[in-house]
Structure 1
Amino acid sequence: MTPVPQSPYARALGERIADLHPRLRTYFQAVPEGMVGVGIGTFQRVGTLVACCGRSCACSSSAG
């Protein structure tokens, strides 16, 4: 049996992916076979935002 490909997001969400709005669910699921995902643009910030010192800031910024 061939495993069904999953995006990392779908794998992390598990069954909760069904709770997402249909457009978001499509965005976070794996790219269908025979299709490609293409993105354009420039990142303004790379990484994940985390809470530190009671405010949202980039994890690379210093706390202070």
Structure 2
Amino acid sequence: MLNIEVNGKSIIVREISDQWGEECHTFLSRPELMNWAEHRFPKDKFDGTEEEWETMMKAFREV
């Protein structure tokens, strides 16, 4: 599960999983967030349809 929070100039992303607990990432710009998202969820290794991947990337762009 991902939780994204905009706090002033920073964007805070919390990845929460049963296996690893909580991991927090802080970004200072939307391009930095998008770069992370594209590397964290590469299209060719995504466990889902291309449509689901596109929906997820669209959600990141709308932050």
TM-score by length of 2: 0.23
Per residue, is there more helix in 1 or in 2? Answer: 2
TM-score by length of 1: 0.23
**Rg larger for:** 1
Per residue, is there more strand in 1 or in 2? Answer: 2
